[in-house]
Amino acid sequence: TISGAGSDQLTDCVCIAGHTAEADGEACAPCEAGTYKTAMGSGDCLACPANTMSGAGSDQLTDCVCNAGYYGPGGDSCGACPANANSAAGSDAVTDCVCNAGYYGPGGDSCATCDAGSWCPGGTTITACPANANSAAGSDAITDCVCIAGYYVHAASLTCSGSCPCSPSSGQRSGTIRS
């Protein structure tokens, strides 16, 4: 709340930007999250535009930043990240959009499905399955890599081996590679 010099009436007390009250002279409360108010006084807080969010007490349209999955300077101009990509809240450029798990690429403009025989944790990384292992396209973890027929997982090294004594003490088993 603020009042001008020489104020002598309770109604001379008005809310500062980012705050509102039912009427001048009443207790002011911060604008709720997702709203803003640029003017002083008891006026209403305005809702942030679609795909944006602000903190409580916001006093500028530019305090409304893009939601996760969107990018832009905030305010009223947030665009969706490209297909198969996401961004953190507050991202301001398409390059902030990174590929989701199961995809890889530069992000901002395109994300490709992870190739068969590989796994992609997201972002720009594509990692080949270990030798003698394969995975389906779109795999997102090393545990998606499975030893090909005739090979067995060597648990200690996360590799697939062709010679398997298959005894409990050998450290080898058939199936999926586990990290």
pLDDT digits (tens, 9 = 90+) for 56-99: 999 999 999 999 999 998 777 899 999 999 999 999 999 999 99
- 171 pLDDT exceeds 90? no
- SS3 of 56-106: the string is CCCCCHHHCEECCCEECCCCCCCEECCCCEECCCCCCCHHHCEECCCEEEE
For the segment 152-164, what is each residue's pLDDT rounded down to a tens digit? 887 677 788 876 5
Closest of 53, 33, 37, 54 to residue 45, by C-alpha: 37
